[in-house]
Amino acid sequence: MKLLTIHDVGDVRLDEVERGEPGPKDVVVRMKACGICGSDLSYIKMGGIPMAGTKTALGHEASGEVIEVGSEVSGHAVGQRVVINGMFVGSGGMEGAFTPELVLKDAEAMGKLLPIPEGVPYDVAALCEPLAVSMHGVNRANVKPGDKVVVFGCGPIGLGMVLWLVDRGVTDVVAIDLAPERRERAMALGARAALDPTSCDLRDELAKLHGEVPSYGRVGVGTDAWIDAAGAPSILSDVIMMAKFQCRMVITAAYMKPIEFPVGRMLTSEMTITTAVGYPTEMPEVLAAMPRLQGKLASLISHRMPFDEVLDGLKVAATPQSAKVMIEFAN
Ligand SMILES: [Zn+2]
């Protein structure tokens, strides 16, 4: 069978591999759907994890059906529909979900598999991982209904953040992205406004939408929380210069290089800057919300492609027109 594997910098292949036999604690999952993630594209650029030249299997946003369980597995049964916890698969090592059948080692440890709620299709279920990343970013922003929020970046993670914010009653969300297709998606998910920072004065626009708040002799815009799911080097400085007293900023984007920012200006805003990564607790909550939000969630999928076209799918996922590229398995 095939397995999508990174060999070196920019060198990713559909390798022919032998499927192993499951041990007593293992579970075999027949893949049904697996999303392509921005981090997959980063890993390919890096040439492998942890370093270039380390063979690395890809695929960490997957759903499938259990087809075999080891003799010591009690919590899973053949026929069960499951989501794979992407913390353990496709982010280093040779277990990756871009393959027809995955042997998941020690499957019951640490919640590696989670059951899909009744009625939720496999493609929507496979969105669980990126949606959990989005939810964790929102959780780290400590927002409440009525707060004013800015989300930088309307790729799948930023869009998921807009979705969760609106779902929690935080409806004054301004989304920011360069691509018109992405801004449209943010609006469809309930953002109040979606701005292109290259064609407007962001501070002026945010002052109009979120108001202005004076503190210590200067005036910040009224945004309560800023979430960076874009990673452009100017964002942090721009936010610091606009920030109101005691606002909060969450960085979820991956910055590859160090950046400079005006610490002196932060003194009078007493703003908090923090980070969010992964989804330590969010997956069960995301799954539980899926039956209720199914229609909205499906709108995050912009492209569906069969597994044998996954290499083309990687190219599509790199374009700003795409949201989530979902790879579907025929079996
Ligand atoms: Zn991902």
Q: What is the dihedral of CA 294, 299, 33, 98, to 10 degrees?
A: -140
253/155 same-domain check: yes
123/145 same-domain check: no
254/308 same-domain check: no
pLDDT value at residue 111: 83
Shortest CA distance to 253 belongs to which of 223, 280, 273?
273
Q: For residues 8 and 53, is the Cβ–Cβ distance under 8 A?
A: yes
Angle between helices 180-188 and 156-167 (to 10 degrees): 20
Domain containing residue 265 = 131-275
137/117 same-domain check: no
Confidence band, pLDDT 50/70/90 cuts, at residue 4: very high
98/142 same-domain check: no
Q: Rounded to the nearest 5°, which phi and psi values hold at 315?
A: -70, -40
Furthest CA-CA distance within the chain? 69
Task: Look up residue 323 and give its DSSP letter.
Answer: S
Domain presence at residue 283: no
263/140 same-domain check: yes
* Final residue in a domain of this structure, among 242, 259, 275: 275
pLDDT at residue 6 is higher than 80: yes
Q: Rounded to the nearest 5°, which phi and psi values hold at 13?
A: -140, 155
Average pLDDT over residues 274-284: 94
Q: What is the CATH number of the domain that holds 222?
A: 3.40.50.720
98/164 same-domain check: no
More confidently predicted of 87 and 61: 61
Domain count, the chain: 2
Q: How far is the CA of 61 from the centre of ligand 1 (A)?
A: 6
pLDDT at residue 331 is higher than 80: no
Confidence band, pLDDT 50/70/90 cuts, at residue 110: confident
Q: How far is the CA of 157 from the centre of ligand 1 (A)?
A: 9
pLDDT at residue 83 is higher than 80: yes
234/311 same-domain check: no
Q: Establish whether the linkage from the previous residue to 50 is cis, with ω within 30° of 0.
A: yes
Average pLDDT over residues 269-283: 94
CA 330 to chain centre: 25
Q: What share of the chain is helix, strand, coil (3-state, %, to 5)?
A: 30, 25, 45
Q: How far is the CA of 91 from the centre of ligand 1 (A)?
A: 9
Ligand 1 is an ion; its neighbours by CB within 5 Å are: 37
Average pLDDT over residues 142-147: 97
Indicate the length of the chain as a whole number. 331
What secondary structure does DSSP assign to 153-183, as a single string?
--SHHHHHHHHHHHHTT--EEEEE-S-HHHH
Q: How far is the CA of 159 from the centre of ligand 1 (A)?
A: 13
123/135 same-domain check: no
Q: How far is the CA of 60 from the centre of ligand 1 (A)?
A: 6
107/212 same-domain check: no
Q: What is the CATH number of the domain that holds 103?
A: 3.90.180.10
Q: How far is the CA of 49 from the centre of ligand 1 (A)?
A: 15
pLDDT value at residue 216: 85
Q: How far is the CA of 37 from the centre of ligand 1 (A)?
A: 4
Domain presence at residue 320: yes
266/320 same-domain check: no
Q: How far is the CA of 72 from the centre of ligand 1 (A)?
A: 30
pLDDT value at residue 217: 85
| Position 263, amino acid | V
Domain presence at residue 290: no
| Position 279, amino acid | Y
The whole-chain average pLDDT of the chain stands at 96
Whole-angstrom CA distances from 206 to 11, 55, 173, 177, 219 are 43, 46, 11, 14, 12
63/110 same-domain check: yes
Q: How far is the CA of 38 from the centre of ligand 1 (A)?
A: 7
